[in-house]
Amino acid sequence: MNDEVDEWGRRLIHRRKVECQGFLRADGLWDIEGRLSDSKTHPVTLAEGRVVLAGQAYHGMVMRLTLDDDFVVREVHVTMPDVPTSECRGAMPGYEKLCGERIGPGFSRRIKELFGGTGGCVHLTELLLPIATTAFQTIPMARSLVAPRTAADTQVYSNATSRLINTCHALREDSPVAVFLKQ
C-alpha cells in the first residue's frame, strides 16, 4: 500500500498510462498503436477472486489499427493481456467493425455508435481517440517530410495543417501560428 504523500498532501491511488505510436510499414501502410494500462497503489480483489497487487496492471490493453494514406482502417489487432475479468476479452472481436471506417470528421460519433454501451469495451473505445489523433500527427507529416512517394506528397502536410485553422485557441485564424501555417 502506498502511503506516500506528495508536496500538496495528496496520496496517489490510481495511475492510467496511455501511449500511442505511429509507424510506417514496409508495404506503405501505417500502423498506429495505442496502449492503455491502469494500476492502483493498493491491492485489489477482482470479481473472479484474483488479487491484483499494488502497481500491477489490472487493465492492460493494446490496439493497433493499420491505415492507408486516406486514413481508412485496413486491419485491426487487439490484445488484452491484463483484464479484471475474463468477460472483458469477449469485446475484442467486435473491433473488427472498424475495418473500412475512415478516421476523420464524425469518427468519434461513429465509434460511439459501434461500441457504446455493451457494444464494446469502454477502455478500448476510449483508446481509439488518441489513436486517431496519433494518426493525424503521423501520416501527413511523414508523407511530406520523411517518406514522400510522389511530388504531390510534399504538399500533404501543409494541406492537412491548413484544415486545422480555427480548431483550437492556438490555431485561431488571427494567431501567429495560423498565419505561419497559411504561408
Interatomic CA distance for residues 21 and 31, integer angstroms: 8
> How do strand 44-45 and strand 51-52 relate by DSSP bridges?
antiparallel
Given a cut of 80, is residue 90 above it in pLDDT?
A: yes
Of 90, 99, 92, whose CA–CA distance to 125 is shortest? 92
Torsion of CA 161, 167, 169, 174, to 10 degrees: 60
Does residue 80 contact residue 94 with C-beta atoms inside 8 Å? no
For residues 5-18, average pLDDT: 94
pLDDT for res 151: 72
- Of 45-49, 61-65, 76-80, 107-111, give the lowest mean pLDDT range: 45-49
Band of residue 124 on the pLDDT scale cut at 50, 70, 90: very high
Question: What is the pTM assigned to this prediction?
Answer: 0.85
Given a cut of 80, is residue 49 above it in pLDDT?
A: yes
Task: Collect all residues with Cβ–Cβ distance below 8 Å to 109 and sequence separation of at least 6.
Answer: none
Of 77, 131, 129, whose CA–CA distance to 99 is shortest? 77
CB atoms within 10 A of CB 39: 19
Q: What are the grid coordinates assigned to 41, written together?
A: 497503489
CA 81 to centroid of chain Cα atoms: 17
Given a cut of 70, is residue 2 above it in pLDDT?
A: no
Interatomic CA distance for residues 131 and 137, integer angstroms: 10
- Of 2-16, 29-43, 78-92, 135-149, give the lowest mean pLDDT range: 135-149
Residue tagged 467493425 (cell numbers)? 97
- Percent of the chain past pLDDT 70, that is, above it, reads 89
Given a cut of 90, is residue 120 above it in pLDDT?
A: yes
Interatomic CA distance for residues 112 and 129, integer angstroms: 11
Given a cut of 80, is residue 161 above it in pLDDT?
A: no
- The dihedral through the CA atoms of 63, 69, 72, 75 has a sign that is negative
